[in-house]
């Protein structure tokens, strides 16, 4: 097998450097939705970044929070993510209390501890998992031990941390502490208790892994990032003078131009097949609409709003569901909700077979359920809920939307005069229009 292709713009791995790759807070994010360009993340793309460093010179660590909730879909994701981390050659995963609870519910806990290895902070559960992990590695011709320990601020006491790293010895060691509940604004008060640690990894809420505070301070404090958009890269370099080593930290974006990994693409396809076979889409909890309202589908609007309807049919929203079919996410409720009418409401979308009239982003997404408006021949307005653009065009789903709202809005204009979508026009067969 030939050498892996180097990512453009990334430095080559140096034999004088050890690398600790850090990710965390996956929260069930396995792949960008693909609805727009510029999206970061995805297990399949991540493989290309991790492969830039030979196995002997790297450690790959996830700091935990693999899923966001305990719904049926989250439980399926948990199992798939554990498999993905194995395919990505992760060395270590720190399981948080939520992760432990999920693993116990799924009956997975007894089988953990192979590849990757698992740790959890003391006091979380009786999971019988260690709180530390270590590996001897070679730096500049000599051995150095990299030790990673897990600690939970809510359950542990600061004086217990030193014991996690074992008794002092003459062996050179890089001590890395993963801290659950370590938020950036609270880190200052915590550091005085861990001066013997080289690096503190906060399970923080920002997308991009960053250095928190002074990059020259010891311990070096970094965040793990979230949603897999970036990979944190902690480099252990030979020291200068009397220092045995020095640490440098950076964040590598998981961009859409990275080559995909076939095995991880196939795993994601398996996950989407699980979604289809599970019936999760059809069994979504549904909220009753108020005042006896119901969704009718966009075709019901055509007879009175013919001009607007025909214009809408030419727009991308009218083909929104087919995008999911193309990428294989058409039975994944997390994706479907923004590509159909009323998924989580009674009378809304159930499945493409049962409610084909509710496919795509239609009139009632923005204007609200139209049954009363239609039965009153337009005398009564459409009802609630009415979605705003930002509810679906989030930074995660529509990376280029923020700052370009006017440009996006131009693409959906389907009324006669340049008014807001709520001011629908009735197109007369004789020409012209009037307010609703």
Smallest CA-to-CA distance from 217 within 195, 202, 193, 232 is with: 195
Residue 166, CB half-sphere, CA atoms under 13 Å: how many? Answer: 16
Q: Which residues contact 201 (CB under 8 A, 6 or more apart)?
A: 22, 24, 63, 176, 177, 178, 179, 182, 222, 223, 224
The segment with the largest mean pLDDT, out of 341-345, 400-404, 407-411, is 341-345
Of 148-157, 163-172, 280-289, 316-325, least confident by mean pLDDT is 163-172
DSSP letters for 29-52 = --S---SSSS----HHHHHHHHTT
> Is the pLDDT reported for residue 192 higher than 90?
no
On the CB side of 415, CA atoms within 13 Å amount to 16
Query: pLDDT digit string (tens) for 339-373?
Result: 999 999 999 999 999 999 999 999 999 999 999 99
Which pLDDT band, with edges at 50, 70 and 90, does 92 fall under? Answer: very high
pLDDT tens string 17-68: 999 999 999 999 999 887 777 889 999 999 999 999 999 999 999 999 999 9
The pair of structure tokens assigned to 24 is 């965390």
Tokens 């590996």 belong to: 135
Q: Which regions of the chain carry the CATH code 1.10.1130.10?
A: 282-435
Q: Which residues contact 30 (CB under 8 A, 6 or more apart)?
A: 42, 43, 77, 80, 81, 84, 228, 268, 271
| Largest interatomic CA distance in the chain | 92
Pairing of β 92-94 and β 58-62: parallel
Residue 60 tokens read as 């790959």
E strands in 52-124: 58-62, 92-94, 117-119
Q: What does the DSSP assignment read for 216-269?
A: TSSSEEEE--STTSEEEEEEEEE-STT-SEEEEEEEEE--TTSPPPHHHHHHHH
CATH of region 18-269: 3.60.21.10
Q: List every span in the chain annotated with CATH 3.60.21.10.
A: 18-269
**What is the dotted CATH code of the domain comprising 282-435?**
1.10.1130.10
């Amino acid at each position: 097998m030939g050498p892996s292709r180097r990512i453009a713009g990334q430095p080559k791995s140096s034999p004088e450097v050890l690398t600790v790759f850090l990710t965390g807070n996956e929260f069930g994010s396995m792949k960008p939705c693909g609805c727009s360009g510029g999206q970061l993340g995805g297990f399949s793309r991540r493989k290309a970044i991790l492969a830039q460093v030979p196995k002997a010179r790297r450690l790959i660590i996830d700091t935990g929070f693999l899923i966001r909730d305990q719904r049926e879909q989250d439980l399926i994701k948990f199992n798939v993510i554990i498999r993905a981390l194995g395919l990505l050659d992760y060395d270590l995963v720190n399981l948080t209390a939520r992760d432990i609870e999920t693993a116990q519910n799924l009956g997975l806990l007894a089988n953990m501890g192979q590849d990757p290895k698992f740790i959890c902070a003391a006091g979380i559960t009786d999971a019988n998992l260690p709180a530390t992990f270590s590996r001897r590695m070679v730096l500049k011709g000599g051995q150095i031990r990299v030790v990673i320990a897990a600690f939970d601020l809510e359950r542990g006491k600061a004086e217990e941390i030193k014991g996690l790293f074992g008794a002092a010895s003459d062996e050179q060691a890089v001590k890395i502490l993963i801290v659950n509940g370590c938020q950036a604004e609270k880190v200052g008060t915590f550091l005085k208790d861990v001066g013997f640690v080289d690096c503190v990894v906060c399970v923080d809420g920002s997308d991009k892994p960053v250095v928190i505070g002074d990059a020259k301070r010891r311990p070096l404090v970094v965040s793990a990032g979230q949603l897999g958009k970036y990979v944190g890269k902690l480099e252990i370099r030979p020291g200068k003078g009397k220092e045995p080593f020095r640490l440098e930290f950076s964040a590598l974006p998981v961009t859409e131009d990275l080559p995909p990994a076939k095995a991880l693409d196939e795993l994601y396809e398996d996950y989407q097949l699980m979604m289809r076979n599970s019936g999760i889409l059809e069994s979504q909890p549904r909220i009753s609409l108020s005042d006896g309202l119901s969704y009718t589908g966009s075709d019901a609007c055509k007879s009175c709003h013919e001009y607007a309807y025909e214009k809408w049919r030419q727009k991308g929203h009218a083909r929104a569901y087919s995008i999911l079919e193309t990428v294989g996410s058409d039975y994944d409720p997390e994706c479907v909700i923004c590509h159909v009418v009323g998924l989580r409401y009674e009378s809304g979308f159930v499945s493409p077979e049962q409610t084909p009239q509710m496919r795509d982003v239609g009139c009632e997404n923005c204007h609200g359920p139209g049954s009363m408006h239609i039965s009153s021949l337009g005398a009564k307005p459409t009802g609630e809920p009415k979605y705003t653009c930002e509810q679906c065009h989030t930074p995660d789903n529509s990376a280029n939307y923020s700052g370009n709202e006017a440009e996006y809005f131009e693409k959906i204009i389907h009324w006669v005069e340049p008014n807001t979508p709520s001011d629908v026009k009735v197109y007369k067969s004789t020409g012209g229009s009037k307010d609703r």
